[in-house]
Amino acid sequence: MTHAAELHAQPEHGAHGHHDHSHDHHDPGFWRKWVFSTDHKMIGIQYTVTGLAFLMFGFGLMMVMRWSIANGAAPFPNWCGPFLHSIFGDAVFEKAFDPNTKAFVGWSLSTQGYNVFGAMHGTIMVFFGIVPIAFAGFANFVLPLQIGTVDMAFPRINMASFWSFFISCVIMVLSFFVDGSAAKSGWTNYPPLAGVADTGPAFHPVMNGGTLWLIGMVFNITASLLGSINFIATVVQLRAPGMTWGRLPFFVWAQFITAYLLLLAFPPLESAAIMNLFDRAFGSSFFMPTGLVVNGMNFDGQPLQFSGGGSPILWQHLFWFLAHPEVYVLILPGIGMVTEIIACNCRKPIWGYKAMVGAIFALAFLSFIVWAHHMYMTGMGPKVSAFFQTTTIIISVPSVILLTALLLSLWGGSIRFNTPMCFATAFLPMFGIGGLTGIPLAFNAVDLYMHDTYYIIAHFHYIVAPGTIFAIFAGVYHWFPKATGRMMNETLGKLHFWGSLVAINCLFMPMFLQGMAGVHRRWWDGGASAYATTVQPVLYWNQKISVAAWALGAVQLLFIVNFCWSIIRGKKVTSDNPWHATTLEWDTPTPPPHGNFIKEITVYRGPYEYSVPGADKDYTPQSEPPSGASAPVLGHVAVPAHA
């Protein structure tokens, strides 16, 4: 019966598709198709490519900082020092002189420059790299396909979201080139420093690093707001017939919950950004305490010109009310991608699908009541600390459920270790290390000692770098054939994987040791000048860590080469479903045309029906009717998208 309905539906839809084809692909022209596109797939690709570029940029900032840390703020070698100075200017790089001869020897990173790069590395990696790729990029491309619909619920709002994000990118990049360079108060932008940095008569009232950071964030937040509304509405409203909540792929669940986190957690940061803008532009005192005195920075130890009565702690509350849920915004899309890839490459269903969905609900709820564990140092007292310690420990339970379910999913599978699966498998222990090292930090007593040390740096980088970024790589390798119609090179991919895995562990593992020894995250010369006596035994790691960082950077060149080369020359896919996966995105032509599906999509089963006993092949697509019909209706029809 379904078969008949399918046949009946097809010609009608084919005609419809043809009409669209002429309407949407011949009329729109270059600008509507590639730049101001409302197609969710193009917007996803735009987000991903922009985000990947920012990941490289943010990584580059860090590699410059690592030179300063490794070599005690020594000048840069002459093949890159003058070049870096010519780009970033005097605010970031200063002349270094030989102590004896007083001769100019080269350019070194200034203390202020280290602050700029540190603040912008964090900002760019979190708000301009990982979230745009893992959430906006992948969800835009994959989510509407996986729920079997034609596009997002609000395509024009989707386009507005990307372009709002793009404006924020332009503002952030421009801010490097104003007087005093970009924001320098850390990615957390803590006042009162964030209220006074780059203010005063020497600076332009708007075109200065701190103010541009805030304006850029307002655009970024607007983009994420538009995106999150769109994703939630799409999942609720546009699921294909038969795609019940219990049949949603886990990736869709993860992005759905992430969208809620962004929707509800980001606005308070926008409030805080508005207050900080008021402080900077109108001299108000939301975050400026009475009688604040700052040395240096053109203020010469005079009490600052503020009416007073403000509270720097208020910023921390508003910031972390966003930024703790933001941690789960960073990791949930990664877990979603890894889940899809593990199920597909183990050829068996995910273990504990319902428990995982429950776990991310719990995670999302709890993530709103743990924020003050970032603020133990503010001295909020044992009672408040006890509350946040408790919720923080509780939130590790759903995280462990997720990790356990994914580990158990590997059990007894016939695993295909292709490049996406390598990255997805490596995600599990890396995320595990990052998560387990966070448990001590939940406790007030430990955190007072560990706060702002390299232990923290290592802990959260294990979550987001070999965690989410590995998941992003896995996702790129996995969905690349659907987006381009070509496979990425497997050999280069494996080299990229093993190189990254080794280098990234050499990079972050020693940081735990340094951090426990007390090395602080904001020493621009790696602690060589001021704190050498207290941390001497671990300072030799500085150079080794930096070498690992540069090696990691070099390995990423393999990815860039592979990515660009495969778009043009990669091996063409011979099937619409090259991985033999079950979810709906593989039911489309390759690459999917505008409107995605060329046949009526009805969902008959759960998302992970791999190796079903008695089935004629080891995967049963979600859209395959349950009857034992002899000829599978939904075979791999390779339909040229742009005939």
User: Binding residues for other proteins, per CB under 8 A?
Assistant: 20, 24, 149-151, 153-155, 157, 225, 228-230, 232-233, 236-238, 263-272, 274-275, 278, 282-286, 305-311, 314, 317-318, 321, 594-595
- Residue number, 50 or 284, with CB nearest to other proteins: 284
- Residue number, 265 or 366, with CB nearest to other proteins: 265
Count the neighbouring beta carbons within 10 Å of the beta carbon of residue 87. Answer: 11
- Residue number, 271 or 627, with CB nearest to other proteins: 271
Residue 269 CB, nearest distance to other proteins (Å)? Answer: 8
Length reported for the chain: 643
Asked if 455 and 511 touch (Cβ cutoff 8 Å), the reply is yes
What the block records as the tokens of 600 is 């009526």
Residue 232 CB, nearest distance to other proteins (Å)? Answer: 6
Q: CA angle, 468 as apex, 489 and 470 as ends, to 5°?
A: 25
Question: Which position has the token pair 């593992």?
Answer: 509
Helix axes 312-346, 250-282, angle to 10 degrees: 160
Residue 140 CB, nearest distance to other proteins (Å)? Answer: 15
- Amino acid in the structure at residue 118: G
* Distance, CA of 418 to CA of 43 (rounded, Å): 27
| Bridge partners, residue 56, by sequence | none
Residue 24 CB, nearest distance to other proteins (Å)? Answer: 7
- Residue number, 63 or 294, with CB nearest to other proteins: 294
Using a 10 angstrom Cβ sphere, with 0-12 exposed, 13-18 middle and 19 or more buried, the burial of residue 226 is: buried
- Residue number, 89 or 242, with CB nearest to other proteins: 242
- Residue number, 201 or 628, with CB nearest to other proteins: 201
| Bridge partners, residue 107, by sequence | 95
Residue 161 CB, nearest distance to other proteins (Å)? Answer: 13
Asked if 493 and 156 touch (Cβ cutoff 8 Å), the reply is no
- Amino acid in the structure at residue 643: A
- Residue number, 139 or 474, with CB nearest to other proteins: 139
What the block records as the tokens of 498 is 């093993």
Alpha-helical segments (H) within 367-489: 382-410, 419-436, 438-441, 444-450, 454-463, 470-484
Residue 19 CB, nearest distance to other proteins (Å)? Answer: 9
Residue 421 CB, nearest distance to other proteins (Å)? Answer: 34
Residue 154 CB, nearest distance to other proteins (Å)? Answer: 6
* Distance, CA of 616 to CA of 350 (rounded, Å): 20
- For 239, 250, 621, the CA distances from 593, given in Å and listed in that order, are 19, 25, 20
Using CA of residue 439, residue 441, residue 444, residue 445, what is the dihedral sign? positive
- Residue number, 306 or 427, with CB nearest to other proteins: 306
DSSP H or E run through 161: helix 155-174
Residue 39 CB, nearest distance to other proteins (Å)? Answer: 9
- Residue number, 285 or 453, with CB nearest to other proteins: 285
